[in-house]
Structure 1
Amino acid sequence: MKTLFIGISCFISSFLLSQQKEEFRLVKNYYNQHRTMLNKEFKKKFDAESNTVKKAEIKGDFLFFMKKMDSIENNALIGALLKVRNLEDLHTIKNPKLTPSEYFSDAEKTADYPGGINSLRQEVANLLYVDGVYSEEKTIKTDVAFIVEKDGTVSNVHAQGDNFTFNRQAEIALYSLAEKFSPAMIKGDPVCYRFKIPLTLTMTD
């Protein structure tokens, strides 16, 4: 069993890249549709079977297929992550002036996720695909930095830790957040805001 403990801290800077969250939404919608279809077919088969042993076998097959679906979806999300990263890097190359130029230490209002920090922690934990994390260590850590844009979307997600697979899954989870943030404000105007989220994954037998 793997347990995720999340600590939140934040700091702020100015970035102007847009979020590419749509790439992740499309992948998730596609695989959720297939899960729904599989669920219906297995349910029909399960309901039509009267033998309890065969019912248990059908349930086992269903769980096996769903686990495979999760793995296949994760591969697609890794592809989406690479595409998003390339697009953001390309945007930075084409717009060299869009690098951090000032820090907003006097923000009147910081960026907030709907429901607050605890909701953000919970959603990141729920979105993290722990079966995609491989480690011989019992406890692994990473620091994930990302930008909350002026429109509340997320961009430039970068995780820095010793375990590459944990870094990758953490980045996918942040890009896959369902809701927008309310942006940080200075003098009534939205500004870009940089969060840093320390993540710790503890794996137990």
Structure 2
Amino acid sequence: MLVPIFKMILCSSLLIGIYYLFLQREKMFRFNRFYLLFALVFSYVIPFVKINLPAVSQQKDQLIFDEIPTQQLIQNANQTSQFDWMNFILIASVLVSIVLIIKSVISIKKIIELKGIDINYQNQKVKLIEKNLPPFSFWNKIYLNKSYFENQIIDNRIFQHEKTHIVQKHSLDILFLEILRVISWFNPALYFYKKAMTDNHEFLADESIIQQKNNVKDYQQLILSEILQTQNLSLTHQFNYNNTKKRFIMMTTKKSKFERTKKLFVVSAFAGLSFLFVQKVYASEIETVTQPIPTEIAGNNFKKLDTIPHRIEGKNNVKLKNSKKVKTPPAPKEFKENELPIPPPPPPAVNAKPAEFPEGINALRKDFSQNFDSSAFGKKDGVLKTSIYISIDENGKTTDIKAEGPNQAFNDEAVRSMKISTADKVWKPATEDGKESATVFKFPITMNFQ
């Protein structure tokens, strides 16, 4: 999950960088508006898109599974559990998002609750407010102080400027950006998108006034007189000082002869970034083989341990909790002819059931085979083996996945593939004496590179 999020941030940063380098000074405001909106949608979608590509080689590899994976019940799981940083980060992110939602709701509430009189002016909703604020628009309504409504008339330049924001639905752009900011507040590129988007909205509104044959200098003087007043309402469009210089420049800027070239460059950039940030899955010809377990050990596939086994200093032995030395059993007693030995007592019945993958073990093998990318390995690797340990809690949730084998790259790919295969899947938990219990699912695999 972290990789797509990182790609999302990087992609959105690159696209806003392209905007500031090549597009912000161009007098193609409608195209720029589309670019900013599409760049956001593109950045947030493309990292999660998967494309299947043909295999990079013609080799047919064998992926071998043991017929019966082993499991190990975990006792005293609460004593051995470690602090889950991922859950902590997730909870912290949700809390920040909730705070941002509350702030946005408060901002909207402040706008709606402004005291004033609602009127209909030239088929447009207008609210004449008592508070001394410069004109602004939000959603489908224009807000301005009563002093602007002299002799039942509003300055047409102010009225048309704010009406343009409403007609072109600029508030939707801001609200869309606000939603992204709530769910991905950690993306610093969104600050630059909001600034670019707000500037572009003002350019579009100014363009509508200039096209009505209004005197440019008089209109600029009107803007200067309005920016002396201030307001602290977010999510709105209003006259403000921060982008005044840019607006004045764009009012007199001529269209560039390189507009078409820059548009073609932007299209090419999207195509290149699509291939760069999409999740590429290389198809590999993998032959799946199920390797039977010998009869004498097939039944012993469910063991009970106090802790999960860990490799110690590269050795293959595992250390059990409270382990004791075991003495060599005495030699068996010799019996006389026609004297039969007393049979040993039957082993105690273990009332335990292993955890089960939702669609069964074969479905897990199939998903794992499809997600496994063998393109990084070849004939030189020969036969590679690893054992995947899947920790499953008493609720059937996968809590940890590790792999132990001599080849670290093979281990990493096995873990990656298994995480994808088990993502959002809830196992049927293991049970012991009728109670759900945490378990470790051991999944040995062997890959034969021919």
TM-score, scaled relative to structure 2: 0.26
Cα distance in 2 for residues equivalent to 1:173 and 1:12: 22
Match of 1:156 among 400, 403, 420: 400
| Matching residue of 1:10 | 70
Match of 2:411 among 158, 164, 167: 167
| Matching residue of 1:92 | none
Cα distance in 2 for residues equivalent to 1:150 and 1:114: 15
Cα distance in 1 for residues equivalent to 2:85 and 2:414: 16
The 5-angstrom pairing of residues 1-205 of structure 1 reads 1=59, 2-7=61-66, 8-14=68-74, 15-16=77-78, 17=81, 65=275, 69-70=279-280, 106-133=350-377, 136-176=380-420, 177-178=422-423, 179-204=425-450
Name the SS of the counterpart of 1:130 in structure 2.
coil
Cα distance in 1 for residues equivalent to 2:85 and 2:416: 13
Cα pair distance change 1:101/1:156, threshold 3 Å: farther
How many residues in Structure 1 have an aligned counterpart in Structure 2? 135
What is the Cα deviation at residue 128 of structure 1? 1.4
TM-score, scaled relative to structure 1: 0.54
What is the Cα deviation at residue 146 of structure 1? 1.9
Cα pair distance change 1:19/1:128, threshold 3 Å: farther
Cα pair distance change 1:70/1:142, threshold 3 Å: same
Runs of 4 or more, structure 1, over 3 Å off, are 15-21, 65-69, 132-135
- Are the counterparts in 2 of residues 133 and 169 from structure 1 also a CA contact under 8 Å? no
Cα distance in 2 for residues equivalent to 1:129 and 1:138: 16
- Are the counterparts in 2 of residues 139 and 200 from structure 1 also a CA contact under 8 Å? yes
Name the SS of the counterpart of 1:11 in structure 2.
strand
- Are the counterparts in 2 of residues 159 and 171 from structure 1 also a CA contact under 8 Å? yes
Cα pair distance change 1:171/1:114, threshold 3 Å: same
**Alignment RMSD (CA, Å):** 3.5
- Are the counterparts in 2 of residues 19 and 154 from structure 1 also a CA contact under 8 Å? no
Name the SS of the counterpart of 1:151 in structure 2.
coil
Identity of aligned residues (%): 21
Q: Deviations over 1:65-87 (max 9, x none)?
A: 4998427xxxxxxxxxxxxxxxx
Gaps of 5+ in 2: 1-58, 90-270, 282-319, 323-348
* Greater C-alpha Rg: 2
Cα pair distance change 1:131/1:168, threshold 3 Å: same
- Are the counterparts in 1 of residues 71 and 354 from structure 2 also a CA contact under 8 Å? no
Cα distance in 2 for residues equivalent to 1:19 and 1:173: 22
What is the Cα deviation at residue 11 of structure 1? 2.6
| Matching residue of 2:115 | none
Cα pair distance change 1:135/1:180, threshold 3 Å: farther
Name the SS of the counterpart of 2:353 in structure 1.
coil
Q: Deviations over 1:169-194 (max 9, x none)?
A: 11112222142210011233210111
Cα distance in 1 for residues equivalent to 2:401 and 2:436: 20
- Are the counterparts in 1 of residues 378 and 449 from structure 2 also a CA contact under 8 Å? no
Ranked by relative contact order (alpha carbons within 8 Å, sequence separation 6 or more), the top structure is: 1
